[in-house]
Amino acid sequence: MPSRRQPTPRHAVPRRAGLALLLLLLAGAPATPAAEPAAARAGARGGELLHALDDAVAALAARVSPAVVQIEVSGYGLQADESGEESAYVARQHALGSGVIVDPAGFILTNNHVVRGAQRITVVLASPAGRAPTGADANARRLFSARLVGADPRVDLALLKIDAAGLSHLPLAGDHVVRQGELVFAIGSPQGLSSTITMGVVGSASREVGSPQPLAYIQTDAPINPGNSGGPLVDTRGQLVGINTFIVSRSGGSQGLGFAIPAGLARTVYESLRTHGRVRRTESGLAAQEITPALARGLGLPRDWGVVVADTAFGGAARQAGVQVGDIIDTLDGHPIENLADVTSAVYQHRLGTPVMLGVVRGAQKLMLRVDAPEARQPADQLVDLASPEQGLVRKLGLVGVDVSERLAGIIPPLQIGTGVVVAARTLDGTSVESGLQVGDVIHSVNRREVVSVEALRAALEGLPPGAPVALQIERQGKLAFLAFEME
């Protein structure tokens, strides 16, 4: 959406004043006696600008920091061995991250990787004015248990909810598009140091980084370190322009290459997670790839940049609409398409229940095709559809399971062991043990006792008293692992 120019805040330094200050600092050559009065005036003016800049940044931090939270997570993950590689053992882990309150009713946006595998999520609110609470505020509640409303691993966003109201927040307006060279501020809890603010510039307003999911990120040199993930990136007006998500670094620390999810995309994901608990998207049955000069010459394409259709699924909506392999995708719902990240962004913003309007270039022709794309069904959604809460409930583990069978073909990846119970959903049953199981895990055995059905899983757990050790053999994302805990 187009950027809306807003008046400069009273405390902010105008860009031209900042440029003047920079010129004053660069022109700091020794003054001749005749030039001393002018130099003195310039120095005084420079000091005023420095103080104004100080005041502007301090005011920005005071306004934005109360909406930034620290997130403490305890859960389970694959444990690394001595070489640093993931082993076959799942261990209890603790992690810290950041989040931003986007609604005063207690809705918090963060990264999916911050809360992935979490069993307990604790949100720590910022102290008043960035200080430790004293006096009447000393008993103010700052720690809240959070529940996961929903998450989208593809975009790496998750939505949390705490039982609170009237909180400071940063609205997800999403209507301000940052520009290259613009000043931005990253706020979060790097290394667990809460309410830390750093400043930098936008290196690129739309940077596609090699990743499984092509997205256009905001690139910034504002120092971002482990623990900043999920915190906000704001502009000089204090507007939320992105969610800090990852860095590119050889040392593990900031090296001036930080990346944030644009606020426009974050808003789309947030609205879907809040309404449905998951992100609902269309599935057109179309596969595309970026055009290279060599590919353009080999295929005789009219342009050597952009995105070309590589495949259309048999019986899919794109093929039925007349989309052909070799078509160049020119627009999607009116959005210009220059790379795969543009396709991803347009698909996320498409409104379900309406046709996808696909503009393509085919030879010398420009065509507009109507694609009646259905809603994409994710494996987790299909698992829930197959699960029966009455028949699949395993209360002691707090899950609803589905027997491994031919019904799951195409829903879960091929298994190393052909029998077991798939975790279709987790329950919020307070009587269940914290097992560390995740949706999609396949349970193959309990204490070396083979599990071939939900009934067999219940039977294996039935005779175990409180405090008894439990070792589950599970399969997660194609890898076998052991998960150990004690019955409660």
Assign residue 260 the CATH number of its domain: 2.40.10.120
Q: Which of 347, 371, 395 is the last residue of a domain?
A: 371
Q: Are 149 and 219 in the same domain? A: yes
pLDDT of residue 454 exceeding 60:
yes
The reported pLDDT for the residue numbered 109 is 97
Strands (E), 296-436: 307-312, 328-332, 335-336, 356-362, 365-371, 393-394, 399-403, 421-426
Q: Are 263 and 291 in the same domain? A: no
Q: Please identify which of the residues 98, 113, 189, 194 carries the catalytic annotation.
A: 113
Q: How confident is the model at residue 353 (pLDDT cuts 50, 70, 90)?
A: confident
pLDDT of residue 137 exceeding 50:
no
Domains: count for the chain: 4
Residue 5 domain-assigned (yes or no): no
The reported pLDDT for the residue numbered 14 is 42
Residue 34 domain-assigned (yes or no): yes
Residue 166 domain-assigned (yes or no): yes
Q: Are 331 and 410 in the same domain? A: no
Q: Which of 278, 308, 340 is the last residue of a domain?
A: 278
To the nearest 10 degrees (0 to 180), the angle between helices 340-349 and 263-276 is: 40
Q: How confident is the model at residue 205 (pLDDT cuts 50, 70, 90)?
A: confident
Residue 115 domain-assigned (yes or no): yes
Q: Are 244 and 303 in the same domain? A: no
Q: Which of 311, 337, 371 is the last residue of a domain?
A: 371
CB-count exposure of residue 477 (10 Å: 0-12, 13-18, 19+)? exposed
Q: Are 244 and 316 in the same domain? A: no
Q: Catalytic residue at 229?
A: yes
Residue 100 domain-assigned (yes or no): yes
Q: By percentage, how much of the chain surpasses pLDDT 70?
A: 76
Q: How confident is the model at residue 194 (pLDDT cuts 50, 70, 90)?
A: confident
Residue 239 domain-assigned (yes or no): yes
Q: Are 182 and 272 in the same domain? A: yes
Q: Catalytic residue at 11?
A: no
Q: Catalytic residue at 113?
A: yes
Q: How confident is the model at residue 26 (pLDDT cuts 50, 70, 90)?
A: very low
Q: How much is the mean pLDDT over the chain?
A: 80
Q: Are 187 and 245 in the same domain? A: yes
Per-residue burial over 419-456, b = 16 or more CB atoms within 10 Å of its CB, e = otherwise: bbbbbbbbeeeeebbbbbbbebbbbbbbeeeebebbeb
pLDDT of residue 207 exceeding 50:
yes
Q: Please identify which of the residues 229, 272, 284, 435 carries the catalytic annotation.
A: 229
pLDDT of residue 294 exceeding 90:
yes
pLDDT of residue 377 exceeding 80:
no
The reported pLDDT for the residue numbered 360 is 97
Phi, psi of 386 (to 5 degrees): -80, -20
pLDDT tens per residue, range 428-447: 554 456 677 888 899 999 99
> Which range, of 5-9, 244-248, 329-333, averages the lowest pLDDT?
5-9
Residue 10 domain-assigned (yes or no): no
Q: Please identify which of the residues 98, 103, 152, 156 carries the catalytic annotation.
A: 156
Residue 2 domain-assigned (yes or no): no
Q: Are 125 and 227 in the same domain? A: yes
Structure tokens at 428: 């919020």
Q: Out of 34-38, 132-136, 307-311, 338-342, give the one with best mean pLDDT.
A: 307-311
Determine the Cα–Cα distance for residues 186 and 258; give it in Å rounded to an integer.
10
Q: Are 224 and 335 in the same domain? A: no
- Residue 23's domain spans which residues? 15-64
> Which range, of 100-114, 253-267, 296-310, 316-330, averages the lowest pLDDT?
253-267
Q: Are 406 and 360 in the same domain? A: no
Q: Are 229 and 100 in the same domain? A: yes
The reported pLDDT for the residue numbered 20 is 43
Q: Are 127 and 188 in the same domain? A: yes
Domain at 411, CATH number: 2.30.42.10
> Which range, of 102-111, 208-217, 411-420, averages the lowest pLDDT?
208-217
